[in-house]
Amino acid sequence: MAERGITNTSLENGIIEGEIIEEYSDNTPCPSVLLLSMVNNIPLHIVIGLYTDHIRIITCYYPEEKEWIDYRIRRAL
């Protein structure tokens, strides 16, 4: 997060306000989802693991526009 300039506050707000744009139900050790959140009008992607009693942050990053349509749909490469 620090290397990418993502603050704890941005991450927290992203999880609370984020929209699920992809679901990975077959991931191990637990299912996970990709969230899209806008932080100061900048898109932020957050992948979280969904355990039965808690969530776990897997990664977060600023998506590259060339790889996404409206930062919600992956472009075919």
Rounded-to-integer distance, Cα 62 and Cα 66, Å: 12
Q: Tell the burial category of 63 from Cβ atoms under 10 Å away from its Cβ (0-12, 13-18, 19+).
A: middle
* Mean per-residue pLDDT, 12-28: 95
Whether 30 shows a pLDDT value over 80: the answer reads yes
Tens digits of residue pLDDT in 39-66: 889 999 999 999 989 999 999 999 999 9
**Mean per-residue pLDDT over the chain, rounded:** 94
The two structure tokens encoding residue 27: 């991931």
pLDDT exceeds cutoff 80 at 77: no
DSSP per residue over 40-66, as a string? TTEEEEEEEEE-SS-EEEEEEEPPPGG
DSSP three-state, residue 72: coil
